[in-house]
């Protein structure tokens, strides 16, 4: 039985726009804190906890984000959880008490620490059982903007996430006068298990942008009837849709800034003339955002916590779990912080202002993007090219030469799988004919928008990885999936079908990622920062999460210097839960 589709007429309400005349009128909080009441005062920020010892309590909490009361998973009575401020060089103790009826956990995303402190139940520790307290103890060996979240069930989607800010022992290489954490996330009033069930039954369940008869007629008028018939027939033959941008959309999601929906207007204050550092963190479960501040340039100074040479941009795409630090210098007026979802079904919005109560115009969302032959990985001579949308053809020849990689002593597929054998695999619905580096491309929906958009090839480390020896081994991974079945994996295998990836302690390793799907995948390796091979020789940027574009082949290098069991997975929560997860064992 096909599930009923979400009601598109609720979209403005779900975005939180109705909250302005509802919750604000009755003084109700946009998010719960300390129980069901907050003294009639809407909080604009989570609590901030500082030091080297923290006591955190995980519990259920009633919240009202869209006008419909729901239960969330909270830390210390708030969603998001408190901002944790730590200092590089300290040794921290974090006590996490579980007051729920279900097990829980906290993973410290992007931190280098012992594996038994990493917080992945069944992999690096048992988990935190109901009524128990687990004590995390680990040294802080890095600085920057990071975040934490649950790795138990789908608690990350229901609110168990928060920001971490780690102060450096050294003076920052760039000047600023104040800072704000900007934690982006997505919220649904639905039970996440129901969302998963809907996707399993119908992968396009939340896609309200499927092509219509009107689109067909407009296409036929623009490029001719035969070309249109060929294009639509090709997509139908592959059982795919060019409208597949994000699996879960604004049909159910409300997009938040620091836990607040658009109408609540989270506001970060500044004094005119100040330089303001924004620590932007994508703590969402499934949503990629395109971030800009109309009327103001942004200088990117850090990526995934690590400093980079300053890059001036007007916009940047931030994949799930990524972080970017930017510095802005606003004038004496209000500015809109605008983060539109990649599929343009909604947005998160806040304000930077010199005084409380101010706001600025909210820009319209950009046109919704569509997938093209480039995203399908088709070669120039593909028989399927006839009549297909040719937008993006310029991307077939990268603007910059592909990075030249140092040879590895041994190059193998991680599972010993010949990619040709993936054809016919019921868990693989597409194999890209032609893959290439796309690090110099801004991504679907960000091309030719008239704004300077950050690309991965812009990133050049201020302090590159001191380890420069070539890799001892290169492991190749195909990112695979079957959209109709909503099954995802590496090399055509889900987690349950896969063996651990075994690395020798101390060996230098290259992971090469080949995306055979038509969707982006933010790939994260726990416990490590890896050097992205983006052509910036001698200054490769360090990252903990890499948003891999469709039909892209890209690589990262790291030294397996910390023993233990580590998670390696797509950070789209429903992709991870559907199989795109592996265990890396370093011994």
What's the mean pLDDT in 124-142? 97
Gap between the Cα atoms of 60 and 260, Å rounded:
18
pLDDT at 415: 78
Cβ atoms of 186 and 285 within 8 Å: the answer is yes
pLDDT at 395: 41
Residue keyed to tokens 């001579």: 381
pLDDT at 265: 95
Gap between the Cα atoms of 536 and 458, Å rounded:
9
Residue 359 confidence (pLDDT) above 80: yes
Contacts 24+ apart (CB under 8 A), 60-63: 60/100, 61/32, 61/35, 61/159, 62/32, 62/35, 62/36, 63/31, 63/32, 63/159
Cβ atoms of 577 and 551 within 8 Å: the answer is no
28 CB contacts (<8 Å, ≥6 apart)? 22, 64
Residue 481 confidence (pLDDT) above 70: yes
pTM above 0.85, yes or no: yes
Query: Which candidate, 584, 400, 404, 394, places its Cα nearest to that of 502?
Result: 584
In the structure encoding, which two tokens stand for residue 279, read together? 């620590």
User: What SS3 class is residue 371?
Assistant: coil
Gap between the Cα atoms of 31 and 62, Å rounded:
9
Gap between the Cα atoms of 363 and 262, Å rounded:
13
pLDDT at 1: 45
- Neighbour-count burial for 516-545, b at 16+ CB within 10 Å, e otherwise: bbbbbbbbbbbbbbbbbbbbbeebbbbbbb
Residue keyed to tokens 């920001």: 163
Q: pLDDT tens for residues 182-225?
A: 999 999 999 999 999 999 999 989 987 655 555 546 665 666 76
How confident is residue 371, by pLDDT bands cut at 50, 70 and 90?
A: confident
Residue 567: in which H helix or E strand, if any? strand 564-570
- When computed from its CA atoms, the radius of gyration of the chain, rounded to whole angstroms, is 23
pLDDT at 238: 52
Residue 18 confidence (pLDDT) above 70: no
Give the residue, 363 or 211, on which the prediction is more confident: 363
Candidate from 314-323, 328-337, 442-451 with smallest mean pLDDT: 442-451
pLDDT at 288: 98
What's the mean pLDDT in 94-113? 98
Query: Greatest CA span in the chain, whole angstroms?
Result: 68
What's the mean pLDDT in 167-191? 96
Q: What is the percent of the chain with per-residue pLDDT over 90, rounded to a whole number? A: 72
pLDDT at 214: 58
What's the mean pLDDT in 402-428? 82
pLDDT at 255: 98
Residue 321 confidence (pLDDT) above 60: yes
């Amino acid at each position: 039985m096909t599930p009923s589709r979400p009601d598109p007429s609720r979209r403005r309400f779900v975005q939180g726009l109705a909250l302005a005349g509802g919750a604000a009128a009755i003084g109700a909080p946009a998010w719960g804190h300390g129980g069901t009441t907050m003294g009639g005062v809407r909080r604009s920020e989570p609590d901030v906890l500082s030091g080297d010892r923290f006591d955190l309590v995980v519990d259920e909490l009633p919240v009202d984000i869209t006008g419909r009361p729901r239960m969330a998973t909270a830390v210390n009575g708030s969603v998001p959880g408190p901002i944790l401020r730590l200092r590089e060089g300290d040794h921290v103790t974090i006590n996490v008490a579980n007051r729920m009826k279900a097990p829980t956990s906290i993973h410290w995303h992007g931190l280098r620490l012992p594996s038994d402190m990493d917080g992945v139940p069944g992999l690096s520790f048992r988990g935190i059982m109901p009524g128990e307290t687990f004590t995390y103890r680990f040294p802080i060996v890095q600085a920057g903007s990071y975040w934490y979240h649950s790795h138990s069930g789908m608690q990350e989607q229901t609110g168990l996430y928060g920001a971490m800010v780690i102060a450096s022992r050294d003076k920052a290489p760039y000047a600023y006068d104040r800072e704000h954490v900007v934690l982006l996330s997505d919220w649904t009033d639905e039970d996440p298990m129901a969302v998963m069930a809907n996707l399993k039954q119908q992968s396009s369940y939340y896609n309200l942008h499927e092509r219509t008869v009107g689109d067909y007629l407009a296409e036929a008028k623009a490029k001719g009837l035969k070309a249109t018939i060929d294009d639509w027939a090709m997509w139908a033959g592959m059982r795919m849709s060019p409208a597949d941008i994000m699996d879960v959309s604004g049909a159910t999601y409300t997009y938040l800034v620091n836990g607040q929906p658009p109408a609540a207007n989270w506001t970060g204050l500044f004094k005119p003339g100040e330089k303001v550092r924004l620590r932007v963190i994508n703590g969402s479960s499934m949503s990629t955002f395109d971030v800009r501040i109309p009327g103001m340039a942004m200088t990117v100074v850090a990526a995934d916590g690590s400093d980079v040479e300053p890059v001036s941009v007007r916009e940047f795409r931030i994949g799930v779990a990524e972080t970017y630090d930017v510095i802005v210098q606003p004038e004496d007026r209000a500015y809109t912080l605008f983060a539109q979802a990649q599929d343009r079904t909604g947005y998160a919005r806040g304000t930077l202002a010199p005084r409380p109560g101010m706001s600025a115009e909210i820009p319209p969302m950009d046109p919704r993007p569509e997938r093209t032959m480039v995203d399908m990985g088709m070669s120039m001579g593909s028989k399927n090219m006839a009549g297909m949308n040719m937008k993006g053809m310029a991307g077939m020849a990268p603007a910059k030469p592909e990075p030249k990689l140092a040879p590895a002593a041994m190059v193998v597929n991680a599972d010993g799988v010949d990619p040709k054998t993936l054809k016919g695999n019921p868990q693989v619905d597409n194999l890209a004919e032609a893959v290439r580096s796309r690090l110099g491309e801004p991504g679907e929906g960000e091309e030719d928008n008239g704004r300077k958009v950050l690309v991965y090839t812009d990133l050049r480390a201020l302090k590159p990885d001191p380890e420069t020896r070539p890799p001892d081994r290169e492991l190749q991974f195909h990112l695979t999936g079957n959209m109709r079945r909503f099954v995802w994996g590496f090399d055509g295998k889900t987690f349950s079908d896969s063996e651990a990836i075994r690395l020798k302690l101390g060996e230098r390793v290259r992971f090469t990622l080949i995306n055979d799907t038509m969707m982006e995948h933010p790939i994260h390796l726990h416990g490590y920062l890896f050097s992205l091979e983006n052509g910036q020789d001698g200054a490769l940027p360090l990252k903990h999460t890499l948003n891999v574009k469709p039909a892209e082949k890209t690589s990262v290098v790291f030294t397996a210097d910390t023993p233990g069991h580590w998670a390696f997975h797509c950070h789209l929560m429903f992709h991870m839960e559907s199989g795109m997860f592996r265990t890396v064992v370093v011994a």
